[in-house]
Chains A and B, each alone.
Chain A
Amino acid sequence: GNSVTQMEGPVTLSEEAFLTINCTYTATGYPSLFWYVQYPGEGLQLLLKATKADDKGSNKGFEATYRKETTSFHLEKGSVQVSDSAVYFCALSRSGGGADGLTFGKGTHLIIQP
């Protein structure tokens, strides 16, 4: 079956540091890949997505590239801010948007210190 593995947290960084959160997946066929973010007390919000190999998703300074050869979708940001503190989830779906169900990783708690 499908599965997503992402690095365990919490990850603690200083403001303006470079961020990488690793994500690898196992799936049949050609899934779409997503990063969702959850701020304290809120539901999840889509951060970025990629629907085919070599696509790069980007939003709010975050980027991730769909690497089929390494089955990875690592999240990166060049300079993090305190406001980026949240839980980040990597996910995959069989369909373009995931409307029929997403498979999530366990989440990575990111803490940015001023």
Chain B
Amino acid sequence: NAGVTQTPKFQVLKTGQSMTLQCAQDMNHEYMSWYRQDPGMGLRLIHYSVGAGITDQGEVPNGYNVSRSTTEDFPLRLLSAAPSQTSVYFCASSRANEKLFFGSGTQLSVL
């Protein structure tokens, strides 16, 4: 019962470094999305995908890239990390018109 798996759970970066947050789901869901959670801000949508090869921007896409080459995977790339990207990142997946399943999160600190 893997569900939505995010790696790593914790990461510390220096300003300007790049990295990829991994997200994989084994439920054959066509929809996947990335959110960031900041204190006092709730969750905000970064990018989402409605299927392999299709992605779109959410509320706060700047500084992040995504791609969806397979149904299972939806990685989030930070090309040049900034302290403002310190946050907890959640990946989610679902079928159309069904509930979202969330991963357990990646806590990222950018120094």
Contact = CB atoms under 8 A, between A and B. Distances in A.
Interface of A: 4, 41-46, 49, 89, 95-107
B99 A43 contact: no
Contact of A97 (B41, B43, B58, B96): B96
Interface in B35-65: 35, 40-45, 48, 50, 56, 58-59
B33 interface: yes
Nearest to B6: A43
Given A42-B104, A43-B4, A44-B90, A97 B42 contact: no
A89 B42 contact: yes
Interface of B: 4, 30-31, 33, 35, 40-45, 48, 50, 56, 58-59, 90, 92, 94-100, 102-105
Contacts of A45: 102
A104 B58 CA distance: 13
Shortest beta-carbon contacts, A-B, top 5: A43-B102, A96-B97, A99-B31, A104-B42, A46-B99
A1 B8 CA distance: 33
Given A96-B98, A99-B98, A99-B100, 15 more contacts: A43-B4, A43-B103, A44-B102, A45-B102, A46-B99, A95-B97, A96-B96, A98-B99, A99-B33, A99-B50, A99-B95, A100-B56, A102-B45, A103-B45, A106-B40
B102 A97 contact: no
Contacts of B92: 43-44
B95 to A, nearest CB: 7
B97 A97 contact: yes
The interface residues of chain A, by DSSP majority, are classed as loop
Given A89-B42, A105-B42, A106-B42, A98 B104 contact: no
A97 B94 contact: yes
Contacts of A106: 40-42
Contact of A44 (B43, B95, B96): B43
Contacts of B4: 43
